[in-house]
Amino acid sequence: MAVNLLAPLGERYRPEALPAAIATGEHLGYQLRRIDEPDERLCAWIDWEFAPSWWSSEVRVGSVWYAVAADGTIAGFAGFGSPDRSYHWLQPYRKRPDVGIFGPYGVAAAHRKTGLGEVLLVAALCDLAARYRWALIPAVSGERLIASYEERADAHVADSYDYALRPARAVILASGDGSNAQAVIDEVQSGDNALDIVAVVSNNARARVLERAREAGIKQQAIVWNRDTESRAAYDERLTAAIATDAPELILLLGWMHLLPAAFLERFPETINIHPAFLPYDSAADSVVMPDGSQIPAFRGARAPEATIAAGVRWGGASVHRVTPATDRGEILVRTPLYLAAGTTLEQFRARIQPIEHAAVSEAIRRWCLTS
Among the candidates 109, 142, 161, a domain finishes at 161
> Mind listing the pLDDT tens digit for each residue in 44-60?
999 999 999 999 999 99
- The CA distance from 307 to 328, in Å, is 15
Q: Which of 310, 369, 363 is nearest to 333 (CA)?
A: 363
Residue segments in the chain with a per-residue pLDDT below the cut of 50: none
> Mind listing the pLDDT tens digit for each residue in 208-247?
999 999 999 999 999 999 999 999 999 999 999 999 999 9
Query: Which H or E element spans position 177?
Result: none
- The answer to whether residues 8 and 150 belong to one domain is yes
Which residues neighbour 190 within 8 Å (Cβ) at sequence distance 6 or greater?
none
- The answer to whether residues 367 and 332 belong to one domain is yes
Number of compact structural domains in the chain: 2
Q: What is the mean pLDDT of the chain?
A: 96
Q: Which of 112, 108, 39 is nearest to 77 (CA)?
A: 108
- The answer to whether residues 156 and 200 belong to one domain is no
- The answer to whether residues 204 and 127 belong to one domain is no
* 18: CATH: 3.40.630.30
Which residues neighbour 274 within 8 Å (Cβ) at sequence distance 6 or greater?
180, 253, 254, 255, 318, 319, 320, 357, 360, 361, 364
Looking at residue 227, its pLDDT comes to 92
SS3 (DSSP) at 8 = strand
Among the candidates 161, 192, 209, a domain finishes at 161
Is the pTM value of this prediction over 0.85?
yes
- The answer to whether residues 128 and 245 belong to one domain is no
* 174: CATH: 3.40.50.170
Contact criterion met (CB below 8 Å) for 360 and 318:
yes
- The answer to whether residues 157 and 199 belong to one domain is no
- The answer to whether residues 318 and 186 belong to one domain is yes
Among the candidates 126, 144, 161, a domain finishes at 161
> Mind listing the pLDDT tens digit for each residue in 82-135?
998 888 889 899 999 999 999 999 999 999 999 999 999 999 999 999 999 999
- The answer to whether residues 329 and 191 belong to one domain is yes
- The answer to whether residues 239 and 302 belong to one domain is yes
Expressed as residue numbers, the domain containing 137 is 2-161
- The answer to whether residues 188 and 205 belong to one domain is yes
- The answer to whether residues 157 and 189 belong to one domain is no
